[in-house]
């Protein structure tokens, strides 16, 4: 678990363009965006401003005036899972989308232009996990990392890691670092020598009601305080706080059921 490479640091540096393949944005599509904005605004201190409307009503979440995530409204007739979706940077979203298709994935939305912000596509890997592809123009993506209220890590929960890791390696050029363990199926994806995402194979332990899916980790200053606040706001604790090599982590869901994780970094 680490910060996505290519993001601006907490010291106010000018946002940099994310390197191709790096996680560069997270977006959530919901049925009730007003209530969702209120929930995440109270939980993370986000404020909101309008974003591109090509896929319907959409806002960008800001932390101290800097963009960190997006929230949009699902069309009433679309009964899709409510889930945070990570976007990975691309120099040419059309070419990346073609590679996704040629390697057994699907493209469900796009490629299409998001006004002057950039060009996007939304697809799924061969196991069915949904992800986005972003070709930046005016909007570079997440503009700050490493502070509470920002995305800290993206992890794919799937049946098994090897074949899916090969798909993402072919599409985005990752290097793989598997965990050598008899009881843990895990691969860390690297770019430029640094980790950017993880793939966790759960086998039959994968939740049947969700299937393979990406989980976004959001950094918090104190995970116990954040959990208390989340429950008070109407969220749900899916897995209580537990210690990991990267800090204290809890798995949670927002009031509409979107799953994510809270992480308090190791000092």
Check residue 267 and give its pLDDT.
66
- pLDDT below 70 — which residues of the chain? 1-16, 267
For residue range 185-216, what is the model confidence (pLDDT) as tens digits?
999 999 999 999 999 999 999 988 889 999 99
Alpha helices in the chain (DSSP H): 33-44, 93-102, 161-172, 223-232
Residue 8: Cβ within 10 Å count? 17
With 0-12 CB in 10 A as exposed, 13-18 as middle and 19+ as buried, what is 13? exposed
Strands 130-136 and 84-89: parallel
pLDDT at 187: 97
* Residues 6+ positions from 248 with CB-CB distance below 8 Å: 223, 241, 242, 263, 264
- Strand ranges (E), the chain: 23-30, 47-50, 58-63, 66-73, 84-89, 106-114, 118-124, 130-136, 151-158, 175-178, 185-191, 194-201, 213-219, 236-244, 247-253, 259-265
Residues 191 and 205: their CA atoms lie apart, in Å, by 29
What CA–CA distance (Å, rounded) separates 164 from 49? 36
50, with CB counted inside 10 A (0-12, 13-18, 19+), is exposed
Closest CA to 141 of 27, 259, 265, 264: 27
What does the CA dihedral 171, 197, 61, 92 come to, rounded to 10 degrees? -20
How many C-beta atoms surround the C-beta of residue 105 within 10 A? 22
Pairing of strands 106-114, 84-89: unpaired
CA dist 220 and 243 (Å) reads 14
- C-alpha 186, offset from chain centre: 18
Query: What predicted TM-score, i.e. pTM, was given to this entire model?
Result: 0.92
- Report the distance separating Cα 39 and Cα 210, nearest Å: 22
In 3-state terms, what secondary structure has residue 158? strand
Is 227:237 a contact under the CB 8 Å cutoff? yes
Task: Report yes or no: 90 and 136 within 8 Å, Cβ to Cβ.
Answer: no
φ/ψ of 116, rounded to 5, equals -95, 5
DSSP conformational letter for 183: S
């Amino acid at each position: 678990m680490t910060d996505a490479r290519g993001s601006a640091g907490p010291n106010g540096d000018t946002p940099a363009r994310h390197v191709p393949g790096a996680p560069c944005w997270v977006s959530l599509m919901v049925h009730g965006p007003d209530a969702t904005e209120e929930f995440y605004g109270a939980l993370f201190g986000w404020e909101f401003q309008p974003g591109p409307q090509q896929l319907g009503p959409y806002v960008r979440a800001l932390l101290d005036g800097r963009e960190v995530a997006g929230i949009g409204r699902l069309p009433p007739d679309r009964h899709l899972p409510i889930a945070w979706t990570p976007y990975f940077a691309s120099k040419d979203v059309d070419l990346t989308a073609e590679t996704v298709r040629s390697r057994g994935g699907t493209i469900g939305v796009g490629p299409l232009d998001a006004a002057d912000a950039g060009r996007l596509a939304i697809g799924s890997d061969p196991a069915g996990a949904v992800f986005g592809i972003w070709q930046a123009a005016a909007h570079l993506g997440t503009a700050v990392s490493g502070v509470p209220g920002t995305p800290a890590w993206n992890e794919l929960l799937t049946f098994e890691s090897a074949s899916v890791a090969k798909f993402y390696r072919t599409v985005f050029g990752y290097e793989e670092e598997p965990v050598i363990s008899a009881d843990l199926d895990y691969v860390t994806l690297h770019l430029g020598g640094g980790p950017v995402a993880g793939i966790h194979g759960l086998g039959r332990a994968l939740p049947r009601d969700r299937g393979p899916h990406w989980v976004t980790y959001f950094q918090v200053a104190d995970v116990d305080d954040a959990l208390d606040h989340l429950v008070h706001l109407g969220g749900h604790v899916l897995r209580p706080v537990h210690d990991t090599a990267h800090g204290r982590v809890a798995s949670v869901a927002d009031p509409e059921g979107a799953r994510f994780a809270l992480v308090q970094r190791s000092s």
